[in-house]
Amino acid sequence: MTTPAPKLRFATVWLAGCSGCHMSFLDLDEWLFELATHVDVVFSPVASDAKTYPDDVDVCLVEGAVANADNRELALQLRQRTRLVVSFGDCAVTGNVPALRNLWSDVDGGSRQSVLDRGYLELADTGAQHPHAPGIVPELLERVLPLHEVIPVDLYLPGCPPSAQRIRAAIEPLLRGEMPPMQGKAMLQFG
């Protein structure tokens, strides 16, 4: 009798993004049952209640850009604790929509404070005010950054969001201990 291969410790993380990549991941539908036979999901906004990123993670899909101090702290933690980090979706790969905030500071000389003023004061329908309690709004970084500008990334999986087929084509080789062939339009198209 052969001993089954140990399950990979698998995580997903959601930084500054819309969660579309995680929704596309859930579009794997029945294949998620197959995936569950090969991985233990140890951290994910869609599959666990864990609040602290664990040690000894084999693979982590990271959705979203790095926009604030909390995003940066989590990215640094997961890089230290993860063997293979996947930049998951266009926001993680390029900054994409969250990085549009950078245009505010580049063109108008806006600062982090001016972005908060715009969002909480100028555009408020009623009750214009900044959040009062500390820790409600993490400190914004001066610029929104793609993941690879904060930590080393092992694999890039573009798409907005990447299709379920592309996600599966990237994950299946990882389950066999192989890197996926990231080439051609089917695997590398943005948008």
How far, in Å, CA of 182 to CA of 77, rounded? 26
pLDDT digits (tens, 9 = 90+) for 107-127: 556 666 777 787 788 888 888
Under DSSP, the state recorded for 123 is T
> Which overall architecture, per CATH, does domain 8-98+141-188 show?
3-Layer(aba) Sandwich (3.40)
Q: Count the Cβ atoms, other than its own, within 10 Å of residue 191.
A: 8
pLDDT digits (tens, 9 = 90+) for 22-68: 999 999 999 999 999 999 999 999 877 778 999 999 999 999 999 99
Asked if pLDDT for residue 191 goes beyond 80, the answer is: no
Quick one: CA dihedral 181, 85, 167, 69, positive or negative? negative
Ranges of each domain in the chain: 8-98+141-188
Amino acid, single-letter form, for residue 43: F
Residue 150: per-residue pLDDT: 98
Q: What is the dihedral of CA 175, 83, 4, 33, to 10 degrees?
A: -50
* Main-chain phi, psi angles of 51, to 5 degrees: -105, -20
pTM comes to 0.89
Lowest-confidence region among 25-29, 139-143, 146-150, 169-173 = 139-143
